């Protein structure tokens, strides 16, 4: 999981979303609100294209799932399920792009909360998952730094075998990308270097590349990249960091 920026929808679309929410709010009981929310969501043709477009702009890579970063984002998921919070059914801040596996097989309607009632899951469009999760790069597995991070691993299935295998391959590919960028720049092949950056960020599982840059700046980076000194030196190269991180508009 990586931090994502929430897109801005057209004013007309936002107005329609508010109208739907007002319609749900007018119902007398909670069950009636849930039923109305389900009915309206099933007939959301007026707003679906704009919602899908906005989520596609926000998603990592080529419209990847905002949870696993691997599968194609095909579903508009309600981060806080509409069965639990019907008034958030048409809340743009509650919409996330997910692959069908994460949406239907992993998360479903699960939304664990802490003892004080606060959400345990991390919304990648509202906060940085790296505050709660650490990717063990050579292994391709996530470790929870907090209760919220551990809840994300469990609910989103972040350590399922196919993702772990994919991340180990992605680590090798990302390492190749930074090495090839340095070679291209040293040879004066600036267009090629730019292309390497673009392709690197558009691959699935770019949480690996994000983790590489994030961890290279960590006080314990030498231990995190043990036996990978050359890779760490490249990730610390100010020119390389600027080229890669400026492309995404982030800093680590």
Domain borders along the chain are: 11-156, 161-248
Tens of pLDDT along 76-129? Answer: 999 999 999 999 999 999 999 999 999 999 999 999 999 999 999 999 999 999
pTM for the whole structure: 0.92
What DSSP character marks residue 136? E
Pairwise CA distance, residues 145 & 135, whole Å: 10
Residue 249 has pLDDT above 90, yes or no: no
Which residue's entry shows tokens 């949480």? 207
Instruction: Tell me the C-alpha to C-alpha distance, in Å, between residue 218 and each of 141, 172, 200, 214, 231.
Output: 18, 20, 22, 7, 14
Instruction: Tell me the C-alpha to C-alpha distance, in Å, between residue 74 and each of 121, 187, 194.
Output: 21, 41, 29
CB atoms within 10 A of CB 173: 15
Residue 44 has pLDDT above 90, yes or no: no
What mean pLDDT comes out for the span 53-70?
96
Tens of pLDDT along 142-177? Answer: 999 999 999 999 999 999 999 999 999 999 999 999
Residue 252 has pLDDT above 70, yes or no: no
Tens of pLDDT along 183-230? Answer: 999 999 999 999 999 999 999 999 999 999 999 999 999 999 988 999
Instruction: Evaluate whether 89 touches 83 at the Cβ level (below 8 Å).
Output: no
52 by DSSP, 3-state: which? helix
Residue 251 has pLDDT above 70, yes or no: no
Instruction: Evaluate whether 173 touches 157 at the Cβ level (below 8 Å).
Output: no
pLDDT range class, residue 247, cuts 50, 70, 90: confident
């Amino acid at each position: 999981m990586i931090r994502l920026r929430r897109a801005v929808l057209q004013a007309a679309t936002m107005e329609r979303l508010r109208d739907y929410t007002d319609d749900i709010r007018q119902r007398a009981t909670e069950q009636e609100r849930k039923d109305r929310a389900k009915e309206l969501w099933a007939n959301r043709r007026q707003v679906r294209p704009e919602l899908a477009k906005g989520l596609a702009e926000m998603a990592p890579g080529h419209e990847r799932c905002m949870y696993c970063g691997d599968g194609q984002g095909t579903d508009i998921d309600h981060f806080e399920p509409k069965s639990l919070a019907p008034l958030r059914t048409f809340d743009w801040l509650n919409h996330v792009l997910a692959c069908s596996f994460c949406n239907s097989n992993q998360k479903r309607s699960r939304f664990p909360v802490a003892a004080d009632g606060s959400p345990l899951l991390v919304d990648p469009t509202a906060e940085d998952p790296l505050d709660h999760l650490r990717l063990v790069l050579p292994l391709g597995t996530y470790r929870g730094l907090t209760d919220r991070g551990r809840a994300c691993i469990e609910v989103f299935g972040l350590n399922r075998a196919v993702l772990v295998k994919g991340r180990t391959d992605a680590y090798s590919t990302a390492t190749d990308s930074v090495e090839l960028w340095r070679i291209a720049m040293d040879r004066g092949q600036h267009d090629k270097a730019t292309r390497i950056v673009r392709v690197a960020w558009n691959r699935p599982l770019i949480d690996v590349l994000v983790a590489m840059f994030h961890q290279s700046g960590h006080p314990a980076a030498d231990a995190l990249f043990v036996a990978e000194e050359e890779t760490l030196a490249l990730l610390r190269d100010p020119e390389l960091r600027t080229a890669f991180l400026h492309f995404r508009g982030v800093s680590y």
